[in-house]
Amino acid sequence: MTSVVVVGTQWGDEGKGKITDFLSQDAEVIARYQGGDNAGHTIVIDGKKFKLHLIPSGIFFPEKSLLLGMV
């Protein structure tokens, strides 16, 4: 299985949520291992906005496996 990792190097606001949402479409497993509630991103699905902080945007793909954890 190929893995793709999105790592932010700009201290927060570099668009990780958007790229993660895009990449999640083709992923089998989506994982989030770190991050505080100040990490927010907005996803728009069918014209409806969802503002997320702790939950990864992959939650909107019910056929995917989603893993959450803290190190």
∠ CA 15-62-38, nearest 5°, is 35
**Cα 31 from Cα 65, distance rounded (Å):** 8
Contact call for residues 61 and 30 (beta carbons, < 8 A)? yes
The type of residue at 56 is P
Of the residues 21, 37, 41, 46, only one is catalytic, namely 41
Task: State the residue for tokens 């902080």.
Answer: 53
Is 53 marked active-site?
A: no
> Which residue out of 13, 26, 37, 53 is catalytically annotated?
13
Active site amino acids = 13, 41
